[in-house]
Amino acid sequence: MTCKYVMRHGLLLTLVVSLGSLGLRADSTSDPCPSTTQCTATCTSSPCQVQITRNGSSLSLSYGGTDASVLCAADGSTVKWAFGTATPSLIGAFFSPSHYPGSTNVVTGSSVSPASSTVSAPNSANSCYVYQAVVCDATGSCGALDPKVVVTGVHATAKHAKKKEY
């Protein structure tokens, strides 16, 4: 076992243990965000990469230079959470076990590989999900934030390049 292996798995364990309380606040309602939730940023393409910035134990999220604490994403689009620093870090996006937009309620990544999930709306109406974003560094120090993602009932459309005719 290498030191890097032990450190990486130790950080993951720290991340999981520190977020164990998330299950205690699990929301069993069908839509935990108020229907009047307004987006602070809207994904205009898929994948949509949200940039995470950490200042001590505080995190902030941005998309295209705009606050992404309430992010709107089209049904079927991919959301990536990235931490843009050379400091080795683990990233986690933790949704309620009873209410989440992807195929799993826990999405993890690192400073090298963004956390990524395809989000979907259960019907044509907007669906809002509260989640916890966490970034932990090699010392075990973590920063957390409880943002929201609103998945619209509109399906993501891929942009196709037009073929040139010769």
**Looking at the domain assignment, is residue 36 inside a domain?**
no
Task: Give the range of the structural domain holding residue 74, as residue numbers without chain letter.
Answer: 3-20+43-155
**Looking at the domain assignment, is residue 75 inside a domain?**
yes
Q: Is the pLDDT of residue 8 over 80?
A: no
**Looking at the domain assignment, is residue 27 inside a domain?**
no
Q: How many independent structural domains does the chain possess?
A: 1
pLDDT classification of 49: cutoffs 50, 70, 90: very high
Q: Is the pLDDT of residue 27 over 90?
A: no
Indicate the helix (H) or strand (E) that contains 18: helix 3-18
Residues whose CB falls within 8 Å of the CB of residue 32, separated by 6 or more in sequence, listed in order: 96, 99, 128, 129, 130
- Pairing relationship of beta strands 78-83 and 48-55 according to DSSP bridges: parallel
Q: What is the mean pLDDT of residues 92-117?
A: 91
Q: Which of 5-14, 60-69, 90-99, 138-147 has the lowest mean pLDDT?
A: 5-14
For residues 22 and 54, the model is more confident at 54
Start-to-end CA span in the chain (Å): 58
**Looking at the domain assignment, is residue 34 inside a domain?**
no
Q: Is the pLDDT of residue 123 over 50?
A: yes
Q: What is the mean pLDDT of residues 34-52?
A: 89
pLDDT classification of 3: cutoffs 50, 70, 90: low
CA angle 159, 124, 34 (to 5 degrees): 110
**Looking at the domain assignment, is residue 14 inside a domain?**
yes
**Looking at the domain assignment, is residue 164 inside a domain?**
no
Q: Is the pLDDT of residue 162 over 50?
A: no
* CATH code (residue 81): 2.60.40
Mean pLDDT for the chain overall: 79
